Homo-oligomer: A and B are copies of this chain.
Amino acid sequence: MTVNIALAQINPAVGDIQANQNLIINTACTARDALQADVVVFPELTVTGYPPEDLLFRRDFIQLAEQAVQIIAESTQGIDVVLGVPEQQGDQLFNSAAVLRDGKILSMYRKQALPNYGVFDEHRYFADGDALTLFEVKGHQLALTICEDIWQPGLIEQYKQAGAELIMTLNASPFHAGKIHQREQVVCEQVSLAGVPLVYVNQVGGQDELIFDGASFAVNAKGEVVYRAAEFEASLQTVGFTGGDIHADAIAPVYEEVASEYKALVLGIQDYVRKNGFGGAILGLSGGIDSALVLALAVDALGADNVEAVLMPSRYTQDMSNEDAVLETEALGINYHIVPIEPAVNAFAEMLSPIFADSKKDTTEENIQARSRGVLLMALSNKQGKLLLTTGNKSEMSVGYATLYGDMAGGFAPIKDVPKLLVYKLAEYRNSVSPVIPSRVITRPPSAELAPDQVDEDSLPPYSVLDRILEMYIEQDMDALAITAQGYTQADVARAISLVDRNEYKRRQSPPGVRISSRAFGRDRRYPIASGYRGTHLLTLKQ
């Protein structure tokens, strides 16, 4: 007899147990009534959202989650509901999956493999489970696993020995570029070894710096993907388990890499604004490529009516910058303000002149320009309840080419994990959908416009060199010698990585942004600020 299994790829709200409870009940009832599902499977820690972080230390939070499970069980009779919930047992907390049937908890499974690397800290919260959990539906034995469990060999084979006919896995697996292929490959390999089909349900949505891309899937006993849900959106569909295998034919296409990154950034902005209750977003629009991209992303995420741009020219701003900025606001149909910054910059210069009388101009004066803009943008943000988006990219964040409390002021930094060359690719991708970013913004040389005729490449290696060095140093932990061995000059490598080493203090005060790489600045990369490590030490030794 066919078992109809619904994959409930939902977007929960971390911490908002009441809202998640309602979403789970509605989704389960739809699966039962509209899709005739026998079982509905939700993502990892469904009830709390993932990752709940230190909320897990609050007893009242855990109790609220336990109560929600009871209410869900009572409200979803007639379908088996498989969901994730923290489970307190004495002094220990487990990352568990519950099977709800007939108004009761039928069985519980405790996650065995707790990830404690990258963005994950699960040993901080949870104790390891050590038992298999099978439950019977229409005479078939279904097995439970949670996320990391199936990235390690062994468990699926153990379940097979125990008589499992199908594996269900509840996940909160965050996106980075290429992750979907990695995820499916790992799972398909495990499945094809054991020959037991598998249903994989992932969370979708943005949560602070993490994006969950969904892309839930099902793998048949041969290790072939026979079902895939859409990426970056909520989804509820069924697969059929019959004749000892999974059958389905709805395979959503996988986005190309740049398109998937664009979608991830849009979802990140959307959910950060929505989940934090902001009434839209504002940003400073300079006429440069970074703010041009962020504006397009914001409008795609929030709609033109909910986004506002502010042009804040100085004496160093070229006319074409203002012109291009205005052109983009017109193409996108958004409201904008122009506020020249000279009055504030002059006021500060005069106020400081008695103290600075004997000193030369340096980056201090450039920073005053950037910070005057920061004050203006924050005033507009405060007055209107709109989230201020910063526009710095990953290349800038890496080398500290940004002003704290200036262009770094803001609540969310959408492209802080996007290297400069990828900023261009994303801009071109967006224009391929419909042209909104003026072409001159893409073709002119990048400049901070904080001094006369300034361009980025005066003080930095070309971005084609810089971005590659940064990726090897930051994402791959390669050392300076290994990087130079890839064909980069000692001077460029030394310049780039010494700037990375010295600018941790700036990154630590930057707002969160969307993680799209395998190592973003944030919970993914935990470096000391006071640090005597110099990545250049191998170069120095060689000279």
Contacts and interface: CB of A to CB of B under 8 A. Distances in A.
A159 B57 CA distance: 34
Interface stretch (A148-156, A365-373, A414-422): A365-373
Interface in A492-543: 505, 508-512, 525-533, 535, 537-538
A207 B527 CA distance: 12
B54 A526 contact: yes
A15 B502 CA distance: 13
B276 A57 contact: no
For this complex, into which size category does the number of interface residues on chain A fall? 35 or more
A364 interface: yes
Contacts of A511: 505, 508-509
Contacts of A340: 351
A404 interface: yes
Interface string A334-358: 0001011101101110111001100
A503 to B, nearest CB: 12
A15 B532 contact: yes
Interface string A384-412: 00000000000000000000110001010
A364 B383 contact: yes
A346 B348 contact: no
Contact of A509 (B347, B367, B510): B510
Contacts of A411: 505
B351 A376 contact: yes
A58 interface: yes
Contact of A532 (B14, B51, B530): B14
Given A347-B347, A479-B60, A509-B510, A15 B531 contact: yes
A181 interface: no
A34 B347 CA distance: 62
A71 interface: no
B537 A64 contact: yes
Contact of A409 (B59, B64, B344, B404): B404
B13 A532 contact: yes
A272 B58 CA distance: 33
Nearest to A63: B479
A362 B380 CA distance: 12
Nearest to A372: B375
Nearest to A344: B347
A359 interface: yes
Contacts of A272: 530
Interface in A414-455: none
A267 to B, nearest CB: 13
A461 to B, nearest CB: 21
A528 B383 contact: no
Contacts of A183: none
Nearest to A276: B530
Given A208-B529, A276-B505, 12 more contacts: A14-B530, A57-B477, A58-B479, A59-B477, A60-B479, A60-B537, A275-B532, A343-B350, A344-B348, A347-B347, A363-B382, A411-B505
Interface of A: 13-19, 49, 51-55, 57-61, 64, 116-117, 121, 123-124, 206-208, 271-272, 275-276, 337, 339-341, 343-344, 346-348, 350-352, 355-356, 359, 362-364, 367-368, 371-372, 374-376, 378-380, 382-383, 404-405, 409, 411, 477, 479-481, 505, 508-512, 525-533, 535, 537-538
Q: Which 10 A-B pairs have the closest CB atoms?
A: A16-B532, A15-B533, A60-B479, A15-B531, A275-B530, A405-B405, A347-B347, A364-B382, A15-B532, A343-B347
